[in-house]
Amino acid sequence: MLSQKLLLTLLLSLITTSLFADDWPQWMGPNRDNVWRENGLLESFPEDGPRVVWRAPVAGGYAGPAVSNGRVYVTDYVTKENAKIDNFERKPISGTERVLCLDEATGKQIWKHEYPVSYKISYPAGPRCVPNIDAGKVYTLGAEGDLFCLDAKTGAVVWSKNFPQDYQAKTPLWGFAAHPLIDGQKLICIGGGKDAHAVAFDKETGKEIWRALKTNETGYVPPTIIEAGGVRQLIFLHPSAVESVDPETGKPYWSLPYEASNGAAIMTPVREENLLYAGSFSNKNILIELDRDKPAATTLWRDRGKSALSPVNVQPFLEDGTLYGFDQNGLMYGVELATGERLWQSGEPLGISRPSNSGTAFLVKNGERFWMFNEHGELLIAMLSPRGYEEIDRAKVIDPTNVAFGREVVWSPPAWANHRVYLRNDKECICVDLSAEN
């Protein structure tokens, strides 16, 4: 028989496992890797769909929610003008950007920070960047370059910047969309200014620590940090290069030429062992070999035409040498990383039989399964492997409220936290229970 001490240990282990939950305090989750590490989730959806715990009114925006310490943070844009426009122009629209803090349990508003902004961007529904919560502060970046550090409990402004004013930055066609990155004491942002593609601020004071890189176009790619060649490297992809700098100083390590059509560099490069991959519009892609002994890199291949993967709205997922993601044509592909060969394609996640411009479904890995949220407002559970896409279940949970390429869409990444998913469109933010206990 088991000893009482061993039995107690096993019981505590089971309880800890079943109750494990986690916040989603930034873009792509706690580790910025699109892995949802919770357990105790639904295997499939109830016949009438998963339970909606609460609904809270919000205005327009593409920025997904963030969840931290019992609160949900979401940004939006309030305007009396028509912001439901899928164009490639810069027609001015006046309105107010807001940062909303909601109670995680009820959806009730706790505080609100707002400021007037005139948009001159394409697709002017609202902000793009997911809030980033860290050490009692919430950091937000608006579509026209308004960067705020707010007190997470009260919404009081701690410090702020405006990239066009402070760095002579030109707002990209689709707005500032590169989610800021926290690294130790630094908040690293894509500023897009003269001699300041990237800027590192002291996250407590807003004081500039360093600025780095000259670029003709800013692009939309969030920065990422890797360890390679014996050092930590801060990786940037922009419309004319893939570059690496020292994250502590901004000093360049290496740079490789690249070209993204129409300035549409969007995905953050993904890495496995000594290989680094990036792709962008239109059918542009590059595979880089990282030096194992020093911070250096070489190009293995590039621009494999309509092979490989050219992501637009969705960050792809790389696992065991296979890249899973949505191409600019809206089809999902499994791609062999080393060669760029497409192993399979599927239109099933979006319910399409032919290409659909910028078709979008956000994905996260959870255990052996993937969860997705597509532009139709549906949650999906699926298996992905080098052999193909296998759908387990799907359920409609929220309405698409914006437009793109003549179709209705919702293009905001979810927050997967505490056995729930937090979703938003241009009218509401909702909390959906995904616990297996219900």
Whole-angstrom distance, CA of residue 64 vs CA of residue 84: 18
**DSSP letter at 26?**
S
d(CA 311, CA 361): 11
Report d(CA 314, CA 366) in Å as an integer. Answer: 17
| The predicted structure's pLDDT at residue 12 | 47
Count CB-CB contacts under 10 A for residue 242: 23
- CA–CA dist 222, 188 (Å, integer): 9
CB 96 within 8 A of CB 79: yes
pLDDT digits (tens, 9 = 90+) for 23-46: 999 999 999 999 999 999 999 999
pLDDT level of residue 193 (50, 70, 90 thresholds): confident
3-state secondary structure of 12: helix
- What letter would DSSP give residue 121? S
User: Which one, of 125, 66, 25, lies nearest residue 400 by Cα?
Assistant: 125
- Taking the chain, what is the end-to-end CA distance rounded to the nearest angstrom? 34
User: Residue 85: which pLDDT band, with cuts at 50, 70 and 90?
Assistant: confident
Q: With contact defined as beta carbons under 8 Å apart, do 277 and 284 qualify?
A: no
C-alpha separations of 417 from 28, 30, 200, 348 in Å:
11, 10, 28, 26
- At residue 49's C-alpha, the angle toward residues 47 and 55, to 5°, is 155
Q: Is the pLDDT of residue 14 over 50?
A: no
Strands (E), 135-251: 137-141, 146-151, 157-162, 181-183, 186-193, 196-202, 208-212, 224-228, 231-238, 241-245
Domain parsing of the chain, residue ranges: 25-433
Residue range 25-433, CATH number: 2.130.10.10
pLDDT tier, 13 (very low <50, low <70, confident <90, very high otherwise): very low
pLDDT bucket at 89, cuts 50 / 70 / 90: confident
pLDDT of residue 438: 65
Mean pLDDT of the chain: 94
323, two tokens: 């890249």
Residue 4: which pLDDT band, with cuts at 50, 70 and 90? Answer: low
CA–CA dist 98, 115 (Å, integer): 7
Section 162-172 average pLDDT: 96
Whether a cis peptide bond, with omega within 30° of 0, leads into 282 is yes
Region of poorest pLDDT, from 17-21, 53-57, 147-151, 252-256: 17-21
**What is the value of pTM for the model shown?**
0.94
Residue 14 or 76, more confident: 76
Give residue-wise pLDDT tens across range 106-137.
Answer: 999 999 999 999 999 999 999 999 999 999 99
Q: Residue 141 in contact with residue 157, Cβ under 8 Å?
A: no
CB 137 within 8 A of CB 150: yes
Q: Give 351-401 pLDDT, tens digit per residue.
A: 999 999 999 999 999 999 999 999 999 999 999 999 999 999 999 999 999
Nearest to 28 by CA among 366, 416, 325, 327: 416
The pLDDT of 422-434, averaged and rounded, is 98
Beta-sheet strands, E only, within 25-131: 52-57, 66-68, 71-78, 93-103, 109-119
SS3 358: coil
| DSSP per-residue letters across 371-434 | EEEETTSEEEEEEEETTEEEEEEEEE-S---EEETTEEE-----EEETTEEEEE-SSEEEEEE-
The rounded distance, in Å, linking the Cα atoms of 437 and 39 is 11
Give residue 10's pLDDT: 47
Read off the DSSP letter of residue 60. Answer: B
